[in-house]
Structure 1
Amino acid sequence: MKKFVLIAFLLASILTSCNVDDVNNHDFYLEVVPIDSVVMPEYFVKGEVYQIDITYTQPSSCYYFNDFFYEIDGQQRTVAVVNTVYTINNTTCIDAPEEVTVHFNFHATGSETYVFKFFQGEVETNGVTVDQYYIVEVPVVLSDD
């Protein structure tokens, strides 16, 4: 999760640091939000493209989908949802959580089982913060037949 926060911070810094006089006047920041559920196929056919649907909860009306954090490590994929949170002074946020579904396309190019780790938040136990993931293993077959 610390990687997610660092990447989000760096991206926000780059996007908002064009004017030196405006460094302390940010109108938004990026935040990684927990994933509630995922729709995945039972298996992938090598060479095919699949839509992966992800549902998460936007805490207020100031949250908007920005992008996915997507990290590849061999056959493992770590996925998180990144939201833009607007903080403009004259904007009133409505604290009404809303369920949102977004998707990305996955191209199954390998022939080994893929392991997806979907970020579901953090849990603190005895002063130690640990990332929580929903882990899905999806085998790859050579054809649908």
Structure 2
Amino acid sequence: MKRLLLILACIFTLTGCSIDDDGASLSLSLAEITDAEMPEYFETGEVYSFPISYLPDNACEQFYGFDIDREINGNVRHIYVFAVTARYADRTNCDDATEQERDLRDIVITGDENTEYVFHFWTGEENDEAQYLEITVPVGEPEETQEPTQE
């Protein structure tokens, strides 16, 4: 009797778990970055956040996050930024996309005054080659604020 219960329990367990997933499938893609608002310079040790505008393929795509790759070459820090969008396969009634904006947050500046940050924002591909909007921001110290002079 115990054996029969064990066999029945195994059968129910195996048939209760199906590898066929009828749920909605999620696909990720890259969205064209159209603009980024960057400061004129960075200060060492500061943490920055700045708005980035992107254009999804259509209105069914939702912002998923930013993918960031970093590369250091001497005093130049290359930051590659990609806007990732997500779409469920069961969504089919999609309007034209409108430009969206999200903040790229918590970029920590580690270079000294001789360092440059070169941001490469992905804008698409042309002839199977990635295209980027490039913005260079030097690391500098804030200018001394002068006391107003009295005449």
**The two structures share one fold, judged by TM-score above 0.5:** yes
State the aligned residue count.
Answer: 120
TM-score, normalised relative to structure 1: 0.75
Q: How does 1:58-69 map to 2 (within 5 A)?
A: 58-69=56-67
Where do 1:30-41 residues align within 5 Å?
Answer: 30-41=28-39
Q: Which runs of 4+ in 1 moved over 4 A?
A: none
How far apart in 2 are the matches of 1:28 and 1:61?
15
Pair 1:144–1:47, CA change in 2 (3 A): farther
From 84, 96, 113, give the equivalent of 2:116: 113
* Matching residue of 1:87: 89
**Structure-2 separation of matches of 1:70 and 1:32:** 12
User: 2:135 — aligned with what?
Assistant: 136
TM-score w.r.t. the length of structure 2 is: 0.72
Give the fraction of aligned pairs with identical amino acids, expressed as a percent: 31
Shift of 1:95: 1.9
CA contact (8 A) 2:80 2:122 kept: yes
Contact kept? 2:32, 2:56, Cα under 8 Å: no
Residue in structure 2 matched with residue 57 of structure 1 by the alignment: 55
3-state SS of the aligned residue for 1:45? coil
The structure that is strand-richer by fraction is: 1
Contact 1:62–1:87 (8 Å) recurs in 2: no
Letter in 2 for 1:133: Y
Offset of residue 25 of structure 1: 6.2
- Give per-residue Cα distances to partners, 1:30-52, cap 9 Å, x unaligned: 00111011111111011112222
